[in-house]
Amino acid sequence: MSLKFASPDSSNVIPLHVIDVDGFDTWVAAQPAPTRAFVAATGFKPAIGKSLLVPDAEGQPLLAVAGFGTAQTRARGRFALAAAASTLPAGTYALATALPAGDLETEALGWLLTGYAFDRYKDASVSPAALICPEGIDAAKLEAIAAGEALTRDLINTPAADMGPQDLEDAASALAGTFGASCTVTTADALLEDNFPMIHAVGRAAAPHRAPRLIDLSWGASGPKLTLVGKGVCFDTGGLNLKPGGSMGLMKKDMGGAATVLGLAHMIMALDLPLQLRVLIPAVENAVSGDSFRPGDILTSRKGLTVEINNTDAEGRLVLADALALGAEDAPDLMISMATLTGAARVAVGPDLSPYYTDDATFAAALEQGAAAVADPVWRMPFWEPYEKMIEPGIADLDNAPAGGFAGSITAALFLRRFAEGPRYAHFDIYGWNPSAAPARPKGGVGMGARAILDALPEMLDF
């Protein structure tokens, strides 16, 4: 799988005309008579996802047309050019017309991402049409972003049997090795010695070869400090509050937060951004055994706050809490957590949007501007202070699973904020999964929020 642009000196390049509905008649009228006749004979209409290869007199490709739909249809989806790219025959294409509308960089990235396929277990390779990078677009930047997104997708798509805590550690170590970063890991009972008691408690029931751990990756020697914290629950049975089978089916993706921060870290390091990056991943399996943590237990966190366990299936916030407390000790300029944390977030905004929480208005403004610019949608949710009492039980400082079911995503975010310290913190409650195929986004694991963050970092961190 190669998510790269074609070489500019490729032979047999096919001119690609991107045409929307409003401009179609004008474009056709400007073409030579044989082309007009061929287009008319095929009945082609420039809807999103439609393409047409026009031959010359010898039957060789003369040009191609990619449908770009209408403004209304484009507003109802993303990556309109990618929709057409996936229908073009193999070959090398170069844009011969400007886009009728939309952002060329985003559309070019979408084209690259049509080349993604998860092929670890069977031949799922695709043979996408290759695109020469459009003029004025930074090919290396988009290829780095595509590679980071592919890493995220691969990690999420891999079944838990092959993506346990050790495998997640291996992926982080490989990434560190690629970019000259450092990577240290605290594993099993050493978590207790180094004061990560909640990470240990959640993961201790797993088999020894799937022992819990904290992965700590660092890169960069100067610039503002950015810390990314990703939930790495490699499989979530629900613990003793066992999930029903239907709810357990997608739990290989419960490390989607870790996968997303690793993909974002790849982008940051590949682009050599002028910052100091730290990535913290509590990697565990929430398994069931005689050593499982129990409903009713009181856990003491790294920060010293005690947590009453009212549901062992609310484990992600526990492991994140210890990691966030560690991250806060270093006083970063910005700390971001990403997690597939609550079903409540999916009920609120569905699978496409990345809900996020922050008290920092500058962060929110930069993020939403970036999200719109790169077609990576986000939606701000509130750290609603009146709900703080919902996470405060009677016999401990905090409750990991407030009764009643109301405001589940908000109360989880409030819980995490207790450990992050300071206003320059944001939490993303992502889904990490595309439930049905869409342009540039096949069914399966998907990055959410990472590209929006990447675009906004210069303003967020002032570099």
List active site positions.
243, 317
Calpha distance 266→148 (Å, rounded): 5
For residue 12, count other CB atoms closer than 10 A to its CB.
8
Residue 233 is inside which H or E element, if any?
Answer: strand 232-236
Other beta carbons within 10 angstroms of residue 159's beta carbon come to 10
Kind and range of the H or E element at 418?
helix 408-420
| Phi (first) and psi of residue 186, to 5 degrees | -110, 125
Rama region for 69: left / alpha / beta (φ>0; ψ in -120 to 50; rest) = left
**Close Cβ partners of 306 (under 8 Å, ≥ 6 residues apart):** 298, 299, 300, 396, 397, 398
Q: ∠ at Cα 340 (339, 344), nearest 5°? A: 120
Rounded distance, CA 105 to CA 146, Å?
Answer: 12
Distance from chain centroid for Cα 340 = 10
As beta bridge partners, residue 95 has: 16
Q: Virtual CA dihedral for 364, 367, 372, 377, nearest 10 degrees?
A: -90
Strands 398-399 and 378-381: what pairing? Answer: unpaired
- Six-digit token string for 208: 């020894």
Q: Which residue has the tokens 């996408």?
A: 128
Closest CA to 213 of 278, 279, 161, 283: 283
d(CA 268, CA 277): 8
